[in-house]
Amino acid sequence: MSDSDQRWQDSIAGQVVVVTGGGGVIGRAICEAFGRAGALVAVADLNEALLAATVTSMSQAGGRALGVQVDVTERASVEQMAARVERELGPVDLLVNNAGVLGAIGPIWEVDPDEWWKVWEVNVRGVMLCARAVLPSMVARRRGRIITMSSGTVLGPQKAFSAYPTSKTAVTRLTEHLALDTRDHGISVFAITPGLVDTPLARQTFESLEGLKWIPQYKELYAERQVPPEIAAQRCVALATGQTDRLSGCYIQLADDLDELTRRADEIEADGLYTLRIRGETATPTTPRVARP
């Protein structure tokens, strides 16, 4: 183990980490990475079988894990999850908002509006509820971190694929709001992209009749550009060390070099880089927009 790896492990050991969607492919990789680093991991998922498999895998590897069934769209379920984690593992040091769904493929006028909104309930409401549940303790202790899975789809519109990209755009902006709200309380908040990870959910979505009809390019993209889930897991561990806290509020992609971004933290903050912005002559958020005659 290198000196840098040892320092990382020393800074992670003993942290209480909650990973929503911890039973899925990406979530399991994140849980296992923190388990190897000595964190106390709460594997939170709606699917009991998947979360149990992750807990078993971690336990067999010598890690400490707690499985908690949770529906991130339900306030009571999320609050019960947070209370149980604090009771059995301790106050939460890191929340990883990884639970998410795709769904609702097709032009707006053809998709089921309830299916479209379900994506927002999981991807946006779920993030808000989970953050809201752990933040009071973090604020009181003046320390803590939140990492939310965003997506490369926030960078531009996708034809016949609106629910997922717009929901991920919303949580990316929510990350900025959370970072601003918590700036004076010692808390850091990040939005990251996991890349094109081949998961059963992605395969089911993009190989469905709607997926093959409206967005056939995604099946090829996933086949050509698969990213191992362990890369996103390593990114989460790196952010949890605290070495990149000055990047709080940023949208960070896998291709971004965290060390380089940290060195540029002053420039990034001054110029509003790695954040969502509408560029234009009148696009100044602190100035009221007045229609010109």
Give the single-character DSSP code of 122. Answer: I
Check: CB of residue 165 under 8 Å from CB of residue 158: yes
Q: Which of 111, 233, 99 is nearest to 161 (CA)?
A: 111
Check: CB of residue 168 under 8 Å from CB of residue 211: no
Residues taking part in catalysis: 150, 164, 168
Among the residues of the chain, which ranges form H helices? 3-12, 25-36, 48-60, 75-88, 113-120, 126-141, 163-182, 200-206, 209-214, 217-224, 229-240, 258-263, 265-271
Report the interhelical angle of 126-141 vs 75-88 (nearest 10°). Answer: 40
Q: Which of 53, 9, 72 is nearest to 35 (CA)?
A: 9
Query: Rounded to an integer, what distance in angstroms lies between the CA atom of residue 26 and that of residue 229?
Result: 5
